[in-house]
Structure 1
Amino acid sequence: MFQHFLLIARRNLLKRKLYSFINIIGLAIGMTCCIVIALYVQHELSYDRYNTRHDHIYRVLQTFRSVEKGQKPPTPAPEDYWVWGSAPVGPALAADFPQIKEVVQFMSPVSLLLEYKDKRLQQENLVCIDSNAFKVFSWKLLQGNPKTALVASNSIVLTQTVATKIFGNDNPVGKTLRVDNGDLFNVTGVVADVPANSQITFNGLISMTTARKSQRDVFNMWGYVDFYTYFLLKDNTNIESMKAEIPAFLKRHNSQDPGYTIAFEKMDDAYLHSKAIRQPGPVGSMSNIYLFCCIGFIILIIACVNFMNLSTARSLERAKEVGVRKVLGVQPSALRWQFLFESLLISVMAAVLAVLFTKVSLPVVSALSGKDFSPKVFFSGQLAAWMAILTLATGVLAGIYPAWFLSRFKPTAVLKGVFKPSHSNISLRKALVIFQFTLSITLIAGTAIVYTELKFLNNHDLGFAKDQMLVLNFEGDGQVQKNIERIKRSLASQTGVLSVAAARAVPGEFLPNAGTAIEGINGQMVSKIPLIYEIDFDFISCLKIKMVAGRDYSRAFLTDSTQAMVINEAAAKLYGYQHPADAVGKMFDQWGRKGKIIGVVKNFNFRSLHSEVEPLTLRYGMPYSLNRILVGIKAGNTAATITALEKTWKAEAPQRPFLYHFLDQSFNQQYESDQHFGYLFSLFSCLAILIACLGLFGLATFTAQQRIKEIGIRKVLGASVYNIVALISKDFLRLVLIATVIAVPLCVLIMNQWLKDFAYRIAISPGIFIATAFIALFIALITISWQTVKAALANPVQSIKNE
């Protein structure tokens, strides 16, 4: 029976090559999308799972809130917590909770200048971490002893990539690096590069004892935040019992701060489910995962609908075959198995093509998604199992209705030649075409909305000048800080330079929070924890940030560097001032500095447009706190200006490499994940419309063939090519138009949910859907016209000579 099914299936595939091609290619593209999306989802869900004890690793979330005396602090919301917190909580947890096996802490990453002989490398993302890190995290130490590598002061473990850059193929263990033109660090190990699916990333690990030597006090300060705290639970312990003991724990160790509390979060939830801020690395989006899963399912459904549509449309061609077989005694169940077998055979062929398509397209998909998909996945048993399930499911989904439909034909009606497709059959095909194009048009409109939002983000007025703004990174070099004003004057004297300023950070980079008391509207000092921006006299004017009240910092006022502060509009509102001018002249107390507020700047988006502008204090920063120099340059001769700046830099700071980037480029990196989302969304939308058009092309071809005699008679009676094309096309175009009407509210509903992730977002305009409708109709018309024009131009004599 199997050989018989195979023979019949082969004959039908070869007899109807065009329809076979459409079905196989359509299903192959649909299955390819499913494979790619499955790889994407698997990558997102695998974050931090490389740790062998990942299900036993938790991290400490901390909140720091200002609470007035006598007030009970409200229960913090998930987004009120920080992953970034204070150091004392770690040792206290280890001492109080016997359920904890290991506690490991690490600090915010730093950028250091590493020197070895004649090689100099400004290396970012170096992390100070506890010596027991290798007991908690499954980082593979390639060279060195994991028990001792991070024990001694001034010890550093390099990743394999960084070690190769500095030492080549030599063994770096035991060698010495000069760091920031000062201290000598001993290389005690080489660790394998952290997997791409890790939230905690680094290029090197520095022993925590190194930080303790230079910053001893901060390790005992509950109010100082610069640490991430993770712990490993013992087997057969319950985290819920630990959560119940948190109030008593805080009362024992930090009762003087009622606004402080902690929570525990599973490491497995950190990447996709955490709402806490100050994350140690990238975070993913469950909504994107759900959306891509839906898109993959939609595309596969569209491909299966093509199969069903073409199979039922060609029912007349196979009706006689079914009738003869039934007369010969073949049972309907056997016929259903035969047609289902043909569907499964096409699905297998499509699956083979899908694997090939995926393998070829994987580098492109990796680039578009920003994810590193390893080719090794094609040699895994897991992929083979998933492909078998996908192939079977696709074959059954695509073939079960046609098999049932074709096996129901009555042999007497078929063999007498009175069999005609039922109205329900025709209506079903129309409904399926509408369904296909509804989904496809929804994706097209969604793509337009995504790109409109991304364009809006890139063109939105941020409130500061980021174009043609060069950022020189000197990472707190002491010599540069000491001579910062002289270096700024030298840079400003170069042709093509418009302005020069210095700051601790630039927009888009990390900013700390600072406990700040400002005189409120009732004359009492009000304590809050706004962000703090340490800047120099020229920063506000260099970035063209607008003042809305008061004045900017000025060298003409001697006390501006020690007794003055500028805040933004959001900070003024935070302290109760609805009108910015009312905040000018009020007293402040921040980080040991007291004085008066001299001005209020207009809110500017120093962070991503995903969030509203936060309260910000712009504090004059002493030279020792500065890390960046901003240089505004003229457009038109950028290369020559940069060359001149580099020459000046080497003369003024020969000990420090000339490292620079453009502010607009670094700021826009915040939207990198959104850009990748847009690329993938566009790709899948194009594939969906392609599959839908393949089905439409097949139906148009079949319709033209079925109506060939009608077309011939109409031509003989004087119908023009335009009349005939319009006659055949209008039914299909009507279906596409109906699909467009249905797709509009569906797309609005879905994309409004996506836009909620942006504090600054577009309003979905009717113009997007009008343009989408025209695009869909145009694509459908082009698809249909190929066959309708061909049929209209055919010689009518050939089509009606047998009548």
Structure 2
Amino acid sequence: MNKNQQNTNPPPWATKLLRWWADPNTLEETEGDMLEMYAYWQKTAGLTKAKWLYAFTAMKLLRPFAQHKRSQEYSGNHFFSHDMIQNYFKIAFRNLVKSKTFSAVNVLGLALGMACSLLIMLWIKDELSVDGFHANKTQLYRIYMREYFSGKVQGVIWTPGPLAEELKKSVPEIEMATPYEWPSDATFSVGDKIYKRQTNAASADFFKMFSFKILQGTPESALKDPNGLAISRDMAITFFGSPEAAMGKPITMDNQKNLMITAVFENIGLNSTLKFDCLRSWEGFLQDNDWAKEWGSTDPLTFFKIRADADPAKVEAKIKHLLDKFNRDEGKPFRTQLAMQPFHEYYLNSTIKDAHMDGGRIEYVRLFALVAVFILLIACINFMNLATARSAKRAKEVGVRKVIGAMRSMLVGQFMGEAILITLFSISIAVLLVAVLLPSFNNLTGKQMSLPLSEPSFWLTLSGLLLTTGLLAGSYPAFFLSSINPIRVLKGTLKFDSKSTWLRQGLVVFQFGLSIIMIVGMITIYRQVEFVQTKNLGYDRENLIYFPMEGDLIKNYDVFRNALMQVNGVTSVSHMTASPGSNGSGTEGISWPGSEANNQVRFTPAGVGYDFAKTMKLEMAAGRDFSKDFATDSMAFLINETALKVIGFKDPIGKKLKWGNQTGVIIGVIKDFHFLSLHEKIRPLIAYMNTKNKTGSAIIRIDGSKTKETLAGIERVCKTVNPKFPFTYAFTDQSYAQQYQSEQIVSKLSDYFAFIAIFISCLGLFGLATFTAEQRTKEIGVRKVLGASISSIVGLLSKDFLKPVAAAIVIASPVAWWLMNAWLQGFAYRIDIAWWMFVLAGVAVVLIAILTVSFQSIKAALLNPVKSLRSE
């Protein structure tokens, strides 16, 4: 527009003032009348006078100067009265029935999006409710330790056994405290009934602190007796017939320890972090485990309860240096500080980062909360695109309504009513879908969730989801359609300006950007899960079984081992104090020539048998394995490469190590292997010959081609040597896979949700293709008349859709990288995010987009040009 043309327009400031302050219900009609009067004044009175008259009249129309006297039937309140709202929904319903395909696609897209969101919301609610049933949950805490050594700091969750009692003595604000040993399987027998059950140990304060329901006995007496045992309802029924019959009855543990049933508690549900079938008294546990009395040995967890009026920050300050007086000095290079974590955060925040509790399952809660929002946004954008795709068909309806006096507020109400009605249908279908899919979802996630139809909060959530989705999805179409100029519509076909086109394409960019993020996330999670399941751990976990060393297997180990070696398919036998891949204990009592007395290092100890490295298929970096050919091996050690780096020996074989009062020599260095999950780095390991107390696990290497018959032979040997214990075993590879159950669940869920997100996105793209084809009907007809081929028209229509998809790839790729890189930080050993993952995601999205729009493009290209031109 040139300068002369600009000068003929009315004063911009007067128009802006009018739009800003005039009555919005009559603004459109008023502005139209003003423009007509301005044109009349310009012809009759001249340009200058016309501008003055326009400005003066605009100021006269400003509220409160202008008196907008309306009859009641045109008042704003009338537009949103009960009768009008009912009318909006009636018209909306008729329009939905009239456009069955449009309505079905919209309802399906929104229903899928809301069903996914509801499932995720149920899962998140269940995750957040874990451990929430404890009456004193805000007063319950657990201890973890920060260890400072060699200029480094690391956090550990296992603590010294005597710590709980010391906390009660040293900190007045702490009312109760208990150690809690890690779970292990023990064999229990009553008469001829012999079963294994998961067993733990805790002190007498345990049931007084935690709200586990006691069916028989009392919380105060449940673990008071050193020979007492508290059992679950299920265990009571299995052994005694009922909880009442179990009280005071004897039960034998591991065929050697006679215990007495002192309490029966309700079966522990899935909403508890702490899980056990029975609990031993801590005093009884100490009788069999002298190491738990030492401050230098760490293994159990420690929980405590503070007074209701206590300040947690002050309590943490008091316990911080509590261990200084127990063979530790704050000023020494090695020191240990205590920290505390609220117990109700234990389940979701179980990962230690930089010596602080930070991360864990809470990361999955946040991740899927984002996924729920993403999918719902994609579904809403899909609705917007489909609604605007039909705008050309609704434009004349809007024009006619405006001509006969309909206000913009009435039209907004009508279109919002249609959006909320579609959302109402969608949310009804979504609830039905959730009810149908919930059993499978529970099976996938290992939950026991149900639709909380009786809870008011569920219906409030549904109502909020209904209004949020309806308003979000319907707002843009409602205000867009209600703003259509009736004169333009009634004169000819509706054409849209570049601003509307950019907005619609922006929505597609946003929608497909979210889809690309989910696809990249799906690929990354899948590859990381595959990586941890297939990574070389430093030992061969295939065809390696283990089972507990118990009963006569311990005292008759040599007879048992010789008998196993005669079984067809058994290639090697050994034993270790922990099971493969689960050794998390530690000790600081290791020293060597040249080591600093004050610079202690935490080693992971492992008591093992002969042929340990051979059975595990560990590679030796130097030296040899334990062997019967060397009588002195009972006073020898194996270390791993990480331990060697800490010790600093250049030629370690034959060098001496001192562990407490025992001195031995290094006979071999094992190449590093992962004896914990890949979430944690490899720690210094020291293996010693466990000749005195062969507890822990028997580990057996078998021939994979003879698995069935070999297992049968092993079972026969166990029943012969150890008849009073049931034979139970586990494959190391299966146990290892269970460590990554959460990651496997996340991987499967990401696959499903990514597919649904892409499907809903394609519905939106289909809507945009429909809209474009409708807008370019005449152009297509003219091109066909001039000789354009079908392929050229299809290419013409399709290329426009690749632009927003390409933009989505460029914008979403760095966001996807950042999100996935943050997720991978939870693994000490992880994959690298490769460039081809983004290329694969981009190519997949482009192909899906082309397939989606090709149908509509081909349909438009095949249309008879005579009909195309007649439609104009």
Aligned identity (percent) is 36
Matched-pair contact (CA < 8 Å) for 1:500–1:542: yes
- 1:146-185 matches, cutoff 5 A: 146-168=219-241, 171-185=245-259
1:457 match: 532
Query: Bigger CA drift: 206-215 or 135-144?
Result: 206-215
Matched-pair contact (CA < 8 Å) for 1:520–1:576: no
Deviation at 1:342, TM superposition (A): 1.7
2:642 match: 570
User: For 1:777, which of 827, 843, 846 is the aligned residue?
Assistant: 846
Deviation at 1:594, TM superposition (A): 0.8
- Residue 377 of structure 1: SS of its match in structure 2? coil
User: For 2:742, which of 673, 678, 684 is the aligned residue?
Assistant: 673
Distance 1:781 1:247 in 2: 62
Structure 1 586/213 Cα, relative in aligned 2: closer, same or farther at 3 Å?
closer
Which TM-score applies when normalising by structure 1? 0.91
The answer to whether structure 1 residue 337 and structure 2 residue 433 are counterparts is no
2:624 match: 551
2:104 match: 21
- 1:319-330 matches, cutoff 5 A: 319-330=395-406
- Residue 354 of structure 1: SS of its match in structure 2? helix
Instruction: Read off the aligned partner of 1:634 and give its amino acid letter.
Output: D
2:191 match: 117
Deviation at 1:689, TM superposition (A): 0.6
- 1:255-654 matches, cutoff 5 A: 259-276=335-352, 284-370=360-446, 372-417=447-492, 419-471=494-546, 473-474=547-548, 476-520=549-593, 527-561=600-634, 563-577=635-649, 579=650, 582-654=651-723
Gaps of 5+ in 1: 68-73
Structure 1 322/793 Cα, relative in aligned 2: closer, same or farther at 3 Å?
closer
The answer to whether structure 1 residue 683 and structure 2 residue 752 are counterparts is yes
Instruction: Read off the aligned partner of 2:741 and give its amino acid letter.
Output: E
2:89 match: 6
Matched-pair contact (CA < 8 Å) for 2:230–2:261: yes
1:150-204, Cα deviation, whole Å (9 max, x unpaired): 2223222222233334345574333332211122222233211223232222111
2:164 match: 90
1:70 match: none
Query: Bigger CA drift: 433-442 or 619-628?
Result: 619-628
Matched-pair contact (CA < 8 Å) for 2:228–2:261: yes
Structure 1 604/362 Cα, relative in aligned 2: closer, same or farther at 3 Å?
same
Structure 1 254/28 Cα, relative in aligned 2: closer, same or farther at 3 Å?
same
Distance 2:805 2:841 in 1: 11
Instruction: Read off the aligned partner of 1:314 and give its amino acid letter.
Output: R
Distance 2:595 2:563 in 1: 48
1:543-570, Cα deviation, whole Å (9 max, x unpaired): 2211112222222221011x21110110
Distance 2:326 2:193 in 1: 47
1:71 match: none
The answer to whether structure 1 residue 201 and structure 2 residue 201 are counterparts is no
Instruction: Read off the aligned partner of 2:108 and give its amino acid letter.
Output: I
Query: Bigger CA drift: 780-789 or 247-256?
Result: 247-256
- Higher alpha-carbon Rg: 2
User: For 1:229, which of 302, 326, 341 is the aligned residue?
Assistant: 302
1:402-459, Cα deviation, whole Å (9 max, x unpaired): 2111111122222222641112112221121121111101211221111112112222
- Residue 636 of structure 1: SS of its match in structure 2? helix
Deviation at 1:352, TM superposition (A): 1.5
Query: Bigger CA drift: 8-17 or 702-711?
Result: 702-711
- Residue 20 of structure 1: SS of its match in structure 2? helix
1:656 match: 725
Structure 1 284/726 Cα, relative in aligned 2: closer, same or farther at 3 Å?
same
Distance 1:513 1:447 in 2: 37
Which TM-score applies when normalising by structure 2? 0.84
Matched-pair contact (CA < 8 Å) for 2:229–2:279: yes
Structure 1 20/606 Cα, relative in aligned 2: closer, same or farther at 3 Å?
same
Matched-pair contact (CA < 8 Å) for 1:445–1:747: yes
2:799 match: 730
Distance 1:305 1:607 in 2: 45
Structure 1 248/789 Cα, relative in aligned 2: closer, same or farther at 3 Å?
closer
Instruction: Read off the aligned partner of 2:444 and give its amino acid letter.
Output: L
Deviation at 1:701, TM superposition (A): 3.5
Structure 1 675/229 Cα, relative in aligned 2: closer, same or farther at 3 Å?
same
Query: Bigger CA drift: 720-729 or 339-348?
Result: 720-729
User: For 1:50, which of 133, 151, 155 is the aligned residue?
Assistant: 133
Distance 2:282 2:543 in 1: 40
Distance 2:864 2:565 in 1: 80
Distance 2:138 2:808 in 1: 46
Distance 1:424 1:89 in 2: 68
Gaps of 5+ in 2: 1-83
Structure 1 784/377 Cα, relative in aligned 2: closer, same or farther at 3 Å?
same
Structure 1 167/697 Cα, relative in aligned 2: closer, same or farther at 3 Å?
farther
Distance 1:526 1:53 in 2: 40
